[in-house]
Structure 1
Amino acid sequence: MRISKYGITLIRLTEEDLELLRTKRNSEEVNSYMHFREYITPEMQEEWFKSINNANNFYYIIEYKSEKIGLVNDKNIDWENKISEGGLFIWENKCLNSIVPMLVSYLMIEIAFYILGWDRTFIKVIKSNKRAIDFNTALGFTIFNEEKELDYLLMRLTREQFEEKAEKLRQVMDRLPSNEKILLSFDQGDQLNGTQKSVEKILTYAQPEILFNKVEIVYL
């Protein structure tokens, strides 16, 4: 599955990119901000991929200007209650202080709330990562749970909270080159792992005008 808008392309994670991801994930500059900090072996990576390559976990390689720069995810999806847990890391330093992380996050939230109809989403942020806390607060996330014995915060974003921040964010987005619609494409792998079926089922409940105005679906 591929999702494109705002000059960003999100490519569903496949085995082809596992070694790239493993190498970047093990790097000190990325690993130090993660809750799980053990060295990841190829075998561990393969087992992890088998556990998330399904319709309840969406992991995407982020492509910007034809370069793979990071990973974003929407995982532990509860389709019935319309909630999920997000995550993002950028391994290209030149993109860290750019607008790219905001574009990626905004696109994922736009899909979650306006296309899939999610009510809320959660993220975990290491307590010492003030930069990430400030970034997500700017998107509308608030601290939902802070347990002293844990090294991370659980932050929550509801659709209402996002709407409070969305007006200013849209003013920024409107100044950028952009596809008018979210381009969503499915391939054979999405058929095999159930992703296409799950997403199409959710889309049938979306308002027709939302689908017409916001999404263009392509079958590869």
Structure 2
Amino acid sequence: MIIEQYGIRLKRVEFNDIELIRRWRNDPTIRKTMEYKKRISEEMQKKWFQSINTPFNYYFMIQVDDEPIGVLNCKNINLEEGYGEGGIFVWKHNAGEYIPVFASLCFLNVVFTELDIFNKSFIKVHKENKKAIVFNRSLGYVLVPGQENRDFQYYVLTREDYNRKSQKWIQLAEKLSGDLEKPKFWGVPGPLNLDVINEKLSFQAS
């Protein structure tokens, strides 16, 4: 499955991608920002991929001009309650300061609007990551009650708040990228996708 918007391509992670992800995930500058801070072995990475390569978890390589620069994910999808938990990390920071913003907008536009899967999106952010907190609050994320004293805190975004607060970011993304279209996404229907995604992919292919 591939998603494109604002000059960003999100390509669903495949087995051949996981060693590159592991190498960057083990980089000290990235590892120190993560909740799990130990080094990840090749075997651990393979087991991780097996655990997340399901219809309820979507991990994407973030690509700019065909170069992988980070990973965006949505995991632990709950269709009954209409939510998933998102995350992102970027290892090539000179690719552009707005790349994480554009990648996030691209994905949220799909799940909130094009696929209509979610009513809410959750993220977990370290309390000292002020830059991420400011950005996510500007999208409409709010701190979940009871998280105030935790190091890693959950924030929640409703579809209504996203539609209301994301417009300035979307206008900036459109202006800088020159892309005024809706997100494009395509792929081959299969058992690793949710039914609603397979239906959409089948419709687009027909």
Give the alignment's TM-score, normalised by structure 1.
Answer: 0.85
3-state SS, counterpart of residue 195 of structure 1: coil
Summarize deviations over 1:151-188 as a string: whole Å, max 9, x none: 2010010012112212212321331322623221213x
Point out 4+ residue stretches in structure 1 off by more than 3 angstroms.
Answer: 216-219
3-state SS, counterpart of residue 111 of structure 2: helix
In structure 2, what residue type is equivalent to 1:34? M
Gap regions ≥5 residues in structure 1:
205-215
Give the Cα–Cα distance (whole angstroms) in 1 for the partners of residues 205 and 88 of structure 2. 26
Give the Cα–Cα distance (whole angstroms) in 1 for the partners of residues 170 and 73 of structure 2. 22
Give the Cα–Cα distance (whole angstroms) in 1 for the partners of residues 16 and 136 of structure 2. 30
The percentage of counterpart residues that share the same residue type is 33
The reply to whether residue 107 of structure 1 matches residue 106 of structure 2 is yes
The aligned residue for residue 69 of structure 2 is 69
In structure 2, what residue type is equivalent to 1:197? D
**Number of residue-to-residue matches in the alignment:** 202
The aligned residue for residue 123 of structure 1 is 123
Aligned CA distance change for structure 1 residues 218 and 60 (closer, same or farther; 3 Å): farther
TM-align CA RMSD: 2.0
Q: Is the 8 A contact 2:10 2:60 kept in 1?
A: yes
In structure 1, what residue type is equivalent to 2:56? N
3-state SS, counterpart of residue 84 of structure 1: strand
3-state SS, counterpart of residue 104 of structure 2: helix
Q: Is the 8 A contact 1:183 1:217 kept in 2?
A: no
Deviation at 1:53, TM superposition (A): 0.3
The aligned residue for residue 178 of structure 2 is 177
Deviation at 1:80, TM superposition (A): 2.0
The aligned residue for residue 6 of structure 1 is 6
The aligned residue for residue 204 of structure 2 is 217
In structure 2, what residue type is equivalent to 1:125? V
3-state SS, counterpart of residue 154 of structure 1: strand
Aligned counterparts, 1:152-163, within 5 A: 152-163=152-163
More displaced 10-residue stretch of structure 1: 8-17 or 159-168: 159-168
In structure 2, what residue type is equivalent to 1:138? S
Give the Cα–Cα distance (whole angstroms) in 1 for the partners of residues 75 and 155 of structure 2. 15
Q: Is the 8 A contact 2:56 2:194 kept in 1?
A: no
Deviation at 1:121, TM superposition (A): 0.5
The aligned residue for residue 31 of structure 1 is 31
